Amino acid sequence: MPRPKQTGDGLTKFQRYRQQQTRRGMKQLRIWVPDPNRPEFAAEAKRQGLSLRDRAEEADALGFIAEAFEWPEE
């Protein structure tokens, strides 16, 4: 595997970028999320959706989604 290029300061492009972002007050965050391309994802989403059906939490969730996104008028 080729090594990343280093410059006179001994840092790679990515290391310099991370340092710059840190100086700007940013913090790197890495998270793992479910892969929507896996077959289990659709089944779990359906299961969770059905568990909310006709509950107060369903209205809360739908209200949140409606406020977060502007739906196109058809």
- Counting the structural domains of the chain, the total is 2
Considering the domain architecture, whether residues 36 and 55 belong to the same structural domain is answered as yes
For residue 9, give both structure tokens: 């300061």
What count of residues does the chain have? 74
The structure tokens listed for 68 are 């977060």
Give the domain extent around 8. Answer: 1-29
13 plus 43 within the same structural domain? no
The pLDDT assigned to 9 comes to 82
For the stretch 14-71, pLDDT in tens is: 999 999 999 999 999 999 999 999 999 999 999 988 988 988 888 888 888 888 887 6
Q: Tell me, yes or no, whether 35 and 25 share the same domain.
A: no
What is the amino acid identity at position 74? Answer: E
pLDDT band at 74 (very low <50, low <70, confident <90, very high): low
Output the pLDDT for position 65.
86
1: exposed, middle or buried (Cβ count in 10 Å: 0-12, 13-18, 19+): exposed
Average pLDDT of span 5-20: 84
pTM attached to this predicted model: 0.45
User: From CA 31, how far away is CA 4, in angstroms rounded?
Assistant: 24
